[in-house]
Structure 1
Amino acid sequence: MAKDGSWPERGVVAAPSGGASAVWGECKGSGSKPYLAAVHLDGDGGPAYKCSCPSRKIPCKHALALLALWAQDDVATREEKPEWVGAWLNGRAARRARAESGTPADPAKAAATLQKKEKAVAAGLEELQTWLYDQVEAGLAEAPKHGYAHWDRMARRLMDAKARGAHTLVSQLPAAARGDRWPERMLEQLGLLHLLVSGYRAGDALGERTRGAARARIGIVTSADEVLAGGERVRDTWRVLGLRDIDTPEGDMRARRVWLRGTGTGRTALSLSFARTGQAPATAFRVGTEVTAELAFHPDGHRVVPVGDGGAGQAPPPEGGTVVEALDSFAAVLAEDPWQDAWPVVLDRVAPAHPDGSANGTRWHLVDPTGAALPLADTDPWRLLAVTGGHPATVAAEWSPAHGLTPLTVWDRNGKAVSL
């Protein structure tokens, strides 16, 4: 596709300081209209791509072919650029300017939208509270016999009320009513929902982070512009502990969680990015590196929005701790965010093992030098064993009481980070 004849229209947008700022082109396709492709070479966090083709791959083959032509000096600088290229670059420049200045796009419109959503959410949570009382008053003995329609009616009402996070929690109740020890799981889920409603109603009486966590769990999400405008900002050298890709509860998107730790502040930060199912979410962070940058924190005190770019470099293994210290750190988080279901921990000198000494019939665990252990979420840690040979190593993982420990990164004997 990187042929001169396939791109009758193409050009380079010059940067003010010289060189190329962007490259664009119109590629002949099978249809009557050409594919419009462009690459912003000096975008935040690396190149940014745009193409009118339906491919889910980023960058697509048209963007790669355009870059190949440019690398071969087959794309000349042009003073004029098409309107669609200018609109795309101007939009990116405007978002970048807002991020640097901390000014939201339209404060009045944002406030009106939020007020409308708050009213709808309050009405939905009022119904949820009554519904929760009804479930407990009727007793839970029949919960496993209820069909999905019993739970789905309340879930749909919460979606209509724009409480998407609460909708997701209610949608998970049928699964809680299955399997062993279902009464404990069901009571825990109903209790967390009740706590969520109470937390939202408490409003400013809660601590700032707990209030932010409650609103985020319900579905009132603070936009990146608002975070950049008024969020807490922390500058540090952030070490990238690990990343994990998960499907969203609705199944239509894929989320990437990247966990960071400040080397000076000890602060934990979560960078989230999303992509359509089948695509890999993009992120500016790479496992095993550290970046000196300023991050703007969401009201919950964990999720962040990067403020500009920072210089990245290789990092040594992070400082780890024992299993007890890892559980203590998770307990401290739960004190502020009772709905937190996953948290990063770094364990020092841990090795995979089975409680009965065999590889059959029981879950794998990670055991620290004190003999304390945490169960793994998966039963086959073969990649971890392949890197360590079964020897103790530093491991960064996500801990979830419901699912267990999910290893994210392991550092080998040479101090090299291996993403799992």
Structure 2
Amino acid sequence: MDDTGVRPTAEQVLALAPDAASRKAGIKLGTAEPWSDTGGAEGAVWGLCAGSGSKPYRTVVDITGPAYRCSCPSRKFPCKHALGLLLLLASDEQAVGGPAAAPGWAEEWLAKRRERAAAGAGSAGAPAGPAAGGPADAEAARRRSERRAERITAGATELEQRLADLLRGGLAAAEQSGYGLWEETAARMVDAQAPGLAARARELGAIPGSGPGWPVRLLEESALLHLLSTAWLGRDRLPEPLAATVRTRVGLPSAAGGAPVRDHWLVLAQSDSSEGKLVTRRIRLHGRDSGRSALVLSFGAGGRSPQLGLPVGLMVEAEIVPHPGAGQLRADWGRQFGAPGPIEEPPPGGPTTAAVEAYGAALGADPWLDSVPVTLCQVVPVRISGGGWQLADAGGESALPLVSTGLSRSGLWKLAALSGGGPVTVFGEFGHRGFQPLAAWAKDVAGTVPLTP
């Protein structure tokens, strides 16, 4: 959601929700079924949403703000209809429609916003005239960006005070205060137009009820949130790649803008997750020639499958367009060249110690990374006392614990059966909680074996 009309992602939209009920209701409306007369142009989208009454609700969103207007009686901001319209746009831009003239009710509100922007630019000595207040006007866009940065700065400063209060009162008090305190804090970050800070603040509220060891996890996440808010406040002193990462983590959108990278991309994993009727698909790629890793996201609203699907085990010659930021793997899928074929051999890898080194190096570029993609060679899945599992080097020099979340029981036993007690090559993600295997290869088994459902 930026001043250039970049299409928002589903995560950015959901982070704007004022509470959990609004997120759930917005997801239900993120499908084309309740909408009619939708359209979009010059950084704005609009549409009519069917409700319980005879007249549909008129909803319009200025993405450059963002700002919202809806005829529904809700006092929540943004309302579920604005969230649903943005989720529809995030999942399928074609569902909203291409450039078109806004209807009178939407144009009236948008025109007033343009007039206010023009007045602000004129009072500062900007050129007068219709073009000065238009969404494409560079000076007006710059001023909107500055105002948003000021709001985020105010939100980050307030967040720092709340984190200080948490530590001053002791972590034990967090369990007594309950989820409401952090939900209210997240709402304040939404008001400050910092959805990334809002999402992390909201996660803090769920930690005290997450089981044994929660004080340690709360301290860890609070420290990371403190690091992010202070990084934003001192972003002018950061190297530009790290500053770009901070902007993305705070919640400002990152549009794919780098040079396209053409390669033979190995499709190593594909997994879907859902929140209500919103489906997020994560596709993990490795460039055979460049050695580059990439993560491509695709979304589907209303229970629909995401548009992009790449079967695991295939190699595709194509272009990807990376997003900016230090250590960022996010990319958009581009042009494809020729028909896909099977993966000829797994990506190059190393021992378990190489995974630790790779994660440590990546944290220097992005301290908020949960994990990094790595390939391990000559490793054996081993069951340990207490029922857990680990991947050990065939030489027995070191081992990594396997994470319990994200790996189905069938995937775990599939990996054990593929190994049969012998060494295998495994691709997965390694972070501070352990290693999550996603695909594997064995000498006597042809092809790639996916380990995710």
Give the shorter-chain TM-score range.
0.5 to 0.7
Q: How far is 1:347 from its partner? A: 1.2
> Which moved further from structure 2: 112-121 or 142-151?
112-121
Matches within 5 A, 1:71-86: none
1:199 matched residue in structure 2 = 231
Q: Is the 2:270–2:310 Cα contact (8 Å) retained in structure 1?
A: no
Q: How far is 1:132 from its partner? A: 1.4
In 2: Cα distance, 1:118 partner to 1:258 partner: 32
Matched, 1:146 2:177: yes
In 1: Cα distance, 2:302 partner to 2:419 partner: 32
1:184 matched residue in structure 2 = 216
Matched, 1:222 2:249: no
Q: How far is 1:253 from its partner? A: 2.7
Matched, 1:350 2:379: yes
Q: 2:423 aligns with which of 381, 385, 392?
A: 392
Deviations 1:159-185 (A, max 9, x none): 222222211111111333343333322
Matches within 5 A, 1:117-266: 117-178=148-209, 179-223=211-255, 227-228=256-257, 231-247=258-274, 253-266=278-291
Q: Is the 1:317–1:415 Cα contact (8 Å) retained in structure 2?
A: no
1:329 matched residue in structure 2 = 358
**Which SS does the other structure have where 2:445 is aligned?**
coil
Deviations 1:192-241 (A, max 9, x none): 11110121122243233322222222111123xxx24xx24433332222
CA 388–146 in structure 1, closer or farther in 2 if over 3 Å, else same: same
Q: Is the 1:241–1:260 Cα contact (8 Å) retained in structure 2?
A: yes
1:419 matched residue in structure 2 = 450
> Which moved further from structure 2: 115-124 or 367-376?
115-124
Matched, 1:314 2:346: no
In 2: Cα distance, 1:259 partner to 1:343 partner: 11
In 2: Cα distance, 1:414 partner to 1:347 partner: 17
2:401 matched residue in structure 1 = 375
CA 313–347 in structure 1, closer or farther in 2 if over 3 Å, else same: same
Q: How far is 1:284 from its partner? A: 4.9
CA 170–88 in structure 1, closer or farther in 2 if over 3 Å, else same: closer
**Which SS does the other structure have where 2:428 is aligned?**
strand
Q: Is the 1:343–1:400 Cα contact (8 Å) retained in structure 2?
A: yes
CA 310–332 in structure 1, closer or farther in 2 if over 3 Å, else same: farther
CA 339–363 in structure 1, closer or farther in 2 if over 3 Å, else same: same
- Dislocated runs of 4+, deviation >6 Å: 87-90
Q: Write the letter of the residue equivalent to 1:246.
A: S
Q: How far is 1:282 from its partner? A: 3.3
Q: How far is 1:116 from its partner? A: 4.7
Higher CA-based Rg: 1
In 1: Cα distance, 2:360 partner to 2:399 partner: 17
Q: Is the 2:265–2:287 Cα contact (8 Å) retained in structure 1?
A: yes
User: Structure 2: any 5+ residue segments left out of the alignment?
Assistant: 1-93, 100-134
- Count matched residues: 311
1:6 matched residue in structure 2 = none
TM score, norm. by length of structure 2: 0.62
In 2: Cα distance, 1:350 partner to 1:391 partner: 8
In 2: Cα distance, 1:314 partner to 1:110 partner: 47
In 2: Cα distance, 1:129 partner to 1:89 partner: 39
Q: Is the 1:244–1:408 Cα contact (8 Å) retained in structure 2?
A: no
1:365 matched residue in structure 2 = 390
Matches within 5 A, 1:264-275: 264-275=289-300
In 1: Cα distance, 2:393 partner to 2:307 partner: 34
Q: Write the letter of the residue equivalent to 1:138.
A: G
Deviations 1:381-401 (A, max 9, x none): 123234444542211112232
In 2: Cα distance, 1:152 partner to 1:143 partner: 13
In 1: Cα distance, 2:96 partner to 2:271 partner: 31
Q: Is the 2:359–2:431 Cα contact (8 Å) retained in structure 1?
A: no
CA 369–277 in structure 1, closer or farther in 2 if over 3 Å, else same: farther
In 2: Cα distance, 1:261 partner to 1:113 partner: 38
1:401 matched residue in structure 2 = 432
2:106 matched residue in structure 1 = none
Q: Is the 2:279–2:301 Cα contact (8 Å) retained in structure 1?
A: yes
Q: Is the 1:318–1:346 Cα contact (8 Å) retained in structure 2?
A: yes
Matched, 1:305 2:335: no
